[in-house]
Structure 1
Amino acid sequence: MADTITFRPDEDAARALATLTRDGTSVSTAVRTALIEAARERARQALRAEAESLAADEQDRAEAAQVLRDMESLRAW
């Protein structure tokens, strides 16, 4: 069984919760869904930042290009 979590929403969070439950969605479902979506978005942002960092790394790009050239010579005709 899952842990019970209690929180005290501020005005912004209370408004957001009201919006998310207006269609009859339970508070538990709305909070659970929002947490999962927030975690996924944070993971996407971290991955995007890492990709941008690698794309800007000239040394890494040069090394990747060299690996591709090396692999091309091994390719079967």
Structure 2
Amino acid sequence: MAQAISVRLDDDAERALRLLQQTGSSRSEAIRSALIDAANRLRRSSELAAESAALEADEKDRREMLAVAEMMDSLRAPR
């Protein structure tokens, strides 16, 4: 079920909305799309942070990362 809302847009938001509408979207479509895109970015960011924390906590993985870094460092040309 669709729900109508009312918002006040500042100048930056108005410019952003106009830019989104240039793709052929209506105001409503542009706003819905922007909300969904923003929520998806937040979700992905949260998921990446959780994955990063899990990798950071994995001692075996940390040892392997350090070994690879040391190997790459040994292959570096002298300065």
TM-score by length of 1: 0.71
Structure 1 equivalent of residue 12 of structure 2: 12
Structure 2 equivalent of residue 54 of structure 1: 54
CA displacement 1:28-68 (0-9 Å, x = unmatched): 0000011111111110000000000000003586xxxxxxx
Percent same amino acid among aligned pairs? Answer: 38
**Aligned pair 1:42/2:42, yes or no?**
yes
Native 8 Å contact 1:17 1:27 kept in 2 = yes
Q: Which runs of 5+ in 1 are unaligned?
A: 62-77
RMSD: 1.9
Aligned length: 62
TM-score by length of 2: 0.70
Distance verdict in 2 for CA 1:4–1:42, change over 3 Å: same
Taking the aligned partners of 2:10 and 2:50, their CA distance within structure 1 comes to: 33
Q: Which runs of 5+ in 2 are unaligned?
A: 62-79
Amino acid at match of 1:28: S
**Aligned pair 1:28/2:32, yes or no?**
no
Runs of 4+ in 1 over 2 A off after TM superposition: 58-61
